Structure 1
Amino acid sequence: MFIIGNFLIAIANILDIILTIYSFIVIIAAVISWVNPDPYNPIVRFLYRVTEPLLRPIRKLLPFRLPVDISPLILLLIIYFLQKFLITSLVELGYRIKGGIL
Structure 2
Amino acid sequence: MITLYRALSILFNLIEVLILVRIIFSFLRIGPYNPIGRIVYELTEPILSPARELIYRLGIDTGMFDFSPIVAVLILRLILRVIRAILF
The bucket for the TM-score relative to the shorter chain is 0.7 to 0.9
Q: Deviations over 1:8-65 (max 9, x none)?
A: 2211111111111111111111121122115432110001101112212221222224
CA contact (8 A) 1:37 1:44 kept: yes
- State yes or no: 1:32 paired with 2:25: yes
1:29 counterpart letter in structure 2: R
Counterparts of 1:1-102 in structure 2 under 5 Å?
8-62=1-55, 63=59, 64-90=61-87, 92=88
2:11 counterpart letter in structure 1: I
Count of paired positions: 84
1:79 counterpart letter in structure 2: L
CA contact (8 A) 1:26 1:72 kept: yes
Structure with larger Rg: 1
Task: Give the gaps of 5 or more residues in structure 2.
Answer: none
TM-score after normalising by structure 1: 0.72
Over the matched positions of the two proteins, sequence identity in percent amounts to 29
1:88 shift after superposition? 4.2
User: What SS is found at the alignment partner of 1:67?
Assistant: coil
CA contact (8 A) 1:16 1:87 kept: no
**RMSD over equivalenced CA pairs, Å:** 1.6
Task: Give the gaps of 5 or more residues in structure 1.
Answer: 1-7, 93-102
